[in-house]
Amino acid sequence: MGKPYKLLALDMDGTLLNEKSEISDANERWIREAIDAGIAVCFATGRGYASALPFAQRLALTSPMVLVNGGEVWASPDRLHSRETMPAEDIVSLRDIALRYDTWYWGYSVDRVFNKNDWLEDPFSTEWLKFGFFTEDEAALAAVAADVLALPRPFETTNSHPNNLELNPLGVSKASGLRQVCAMLGCDMREVVACGDSLNDAAMIREAGLGVAMGNAQDAVKRIADAVTLTNEEDGVAHVIRTYLL
C-alpha cells in the first residue's frame, strides 16, 4: 500500500537549496522521481516571484507556488491565483521602526524588492506584500519586535533566519497558501508533506500531515515537527522523498 501523501511543500532557502543557493543533483533527481510518481511538488517560500521562478523552471515545475510567505499563491508558474497586500501606511510605520533602531530592512512590493539602500520615495505608489528587518544586535531585534507589537494593526510575525523578523498581513502564512493549493489540487492538508527550517515554515509544518524540520532548522521548528531530516547541505529533501514519499 502506497503512502497517503499527494503534495510535497518545500521551503527554498535552508531547505531545498544548499548554502550556495543551489539545488543539489540528489535533490533534483528525487524531486523528479516524486513528480513521476504522481506527487505534486510546490515551493512554499519567503522569496518573491522573480527569485523563485528560475528554480521552478530548472525543475520544470508546472504546479502551484506559495510565495512571499503566503502573500502570493500562483496556480502555476505563469498564472497568479491570489495576492494578500499590506497597506502602505503599515509599511511606512515599519520602516520608521527600522530607522529608529538602525537595522537593515526590506519590503516586497508586487513588482520588486526595495531595501535600505534603494528605498522607494513614495511608498504609496505601489502595492506591498511583506516587510522585513535584519540585525545581529539581539537587543535591537527584541526592541523592534516590541514596537511592531505595539502598532495598531497586528501582523503575522515570523522569521527566515534567527537574526531577522518578517511581517505579513495577519492570517497570511505558508499554511494559508497551502490550503489554497490543496483546494486547487483536490487534496487536504493531511495529504501534505511540508519541509522547512525557519519560523516562517512553522505554520505549514504544524498543519501538514507530515511536518519535517531540516537538520539545520531552528530549534523551535524542530520541536513542533513530526520528523527531522538531514541538513540542506546533506540533501535533506532527497532523504525526505526516499523515506516518506517513495
Closest among 63, 85, 79, 87 to 178, alpha carbons compared: 63
| Known active-site residue 102 | no
Residues shown for the chain: 246
Q: How far apart are the first and last CA of the chain?
A: 11
With residue 115 as reference, give the H or E element that holds it.
strand 113-115
Q: Are 29 and 57 in contact (CB under 8 A)?
A: no
Phi–psi pair at 160, nearest 5 degrees? -120, 10
Residue of 11, 13, 90, 235 marked catalytic: 11
Cell numbers 502573500 correspond to 71
> Looking at the annotation, which residues are catalytic?
11
